[in-house]
Chain A
Amino acid sequence: MSGASLHTAVLIAVMAIGTALLRFSPFLIFKKVLPAYVVYLGKVLPPAIIGMLVVYCLRNTPILTSPHGLPELIAVSIIVLLHVWKRNSLLSILSGTITYIVLVQYVF
C-alpha cells in the first residue's frame, strides 16, 4: 500500500469510528441507569426528528428562483393527500417520487 493509500485508509477508519462513536455513545452512557429525562426524550424525539428530516431534505429547494419549489410542493401535497386517503406507505412514497421525477424531467 502506498503512502497516499495508507492515508486514505486511515481517514476512512476515522470516519467509520467517529460515526460509530456517535451511534453507540448514548447506549453506553445510559447502560445502567436511564434518567427520566432521557426516557422522555426517547418518546418525543422521534416525531420531532422526522419533522427535522423533512426540512433537511428540502433545504436546497429554490424558493426565490424558478420553478420556486413547485415540483416539491406538488409532490409533497400528493404524498400527504394520498397517505391520508389510503394509509399505504409504499404507495405514497412511489407516487410522490414518480410525480417528482416527471415534473423535474419533463414539466419544469
Chain B
Amino acid sequence: MKRETVKQAFITSIPVMAGYLVLGIGFGILLRDAGYGVPWAFCMSLLIYGGSMQYVGVGLIAGAASVLTTALTTLMVNARHLFYSISMIGRYKDAGAYKPYLIFGLTDETYSLLSTGEAPAGVDVNFYRFLVTLFNHCYWIIGGILGNLLGEVLPFSSEGVDFSMTALFVTALVEQWLNVKEHRPVLAGLGCTLLSLLIFGPEKFLIPAMLLIALALTLLRPSLEAGKEAAK
C-alpha cells in the first residue's frame, strides 16, 4: 500500500512539476539578478513556499523594505490562503502528525489538487496528501535553485511554459463541473472575480473578489443548503 500511495501521489503531482520548475526557475533568475545567490533562493522557497509572494519578496528585499511594509504586503498578497485553510479544516481533521506540514504547504496548486475530488482508491489518504504536498514543495525548491544557478543562459525559450498553471486550474474547474450538478458556487467564483477584475484592474482585484465571493456564497446559503437536503 505504501508503494502504491507513493506512485499515486507522484502521478497526481506531475502537472504541478512542470509549472513549479518553470515558475521556480523564474523566481531564481529574478533573485540572482537582484544579487542573491543559491542559499537565499533555497531558504525563501523552503520557508515561505508561495509563488506570487516570493516574486514580490524579491522586490522587497532588493529595496530593503521595512519590516512593517513587508508584513502588510505579505498579508495582502496571501490573504487568499485564509480561504484555502477554512475549506480544508474538515478534510485535514484526522491528518495526525502530517497535519502541520499539510497546512504549511497549502499553496494554490496543492490546494487545487487536494481540495476537490477524492484520493485514488487503495491509498493511505493522509500519507498521500502529505506526499503530494512534499513533492510539490521539492519541485518548487529545485526550480528556484536551478534558476539561480542557470541565470539567463537557458538553452531554450521557456515562453508559455508557465501556462501549465492555468491549464491545471482550468482542468480542475472542468473536472469539478462534471462531478457535481450544483454549479452556482463555481459560477459565483468566476463571476465575482471577473467583475472585480473589470472594476479594480489586474493589480488590486483579488481581495475585493474574495469579499464578493464570500458575500455571494453567504447570500446563496439558504438555497444551496436546501438543495443539498433535497439531493439526499
Interface positions of A (Cβ within 8 A of B): 4, 7-8, 10-16, 18-20, 22-27, 30, 34, 37-60, 71-72, 75-76, 79-80, 83-84, 87, 89-90, 92-94, 96-97, 100-101, 103-105
Contact = CB atoms under 8 A, between A and B. Distances in A.
Contacts of B176: 46-47, 50
B1 interface: no
Contacts of B43: 12
Given A14-B70, A55-B197, A76-B170, A45 B49 contact: no
Interface string B194-225: 10010000100110011001101100110011
A52 B210 contact: yes
> Is the contact region of chain B dominated by helix, strand, or loop, or is it mixed?
helix
Contacts of B104: 20, 23-24
A13 B83 CA distance: 23
A100 B163 contact: yes
A54 B170 contact: yes
A19 B169 contact: no
Contacts of A58: 166
Q: In which size bucket is the chain B interface?
A: 35 or more
B202 to A, nearest CB: 4
B60 to A, nearest CB: 6
> Is the contact region of chain A dominated by helix, strand, or loop, or is it mixed?
helix
B134 interface: no
26 contacts: A8-B61, A12-B61, A15-B60, A15-B70, A19-B74, A22-B79, A22-B81, A23-B104, A42-B87, A42-B89, A47-B180, A47-B185, A47-B186, A48-B188, A49-B83, A49-B87, A50-B116, A50-B186, A51-B190, A55-B193, A79-B171, A83-B175, A92-B167, A94-B167, A97-B167, A101-B159
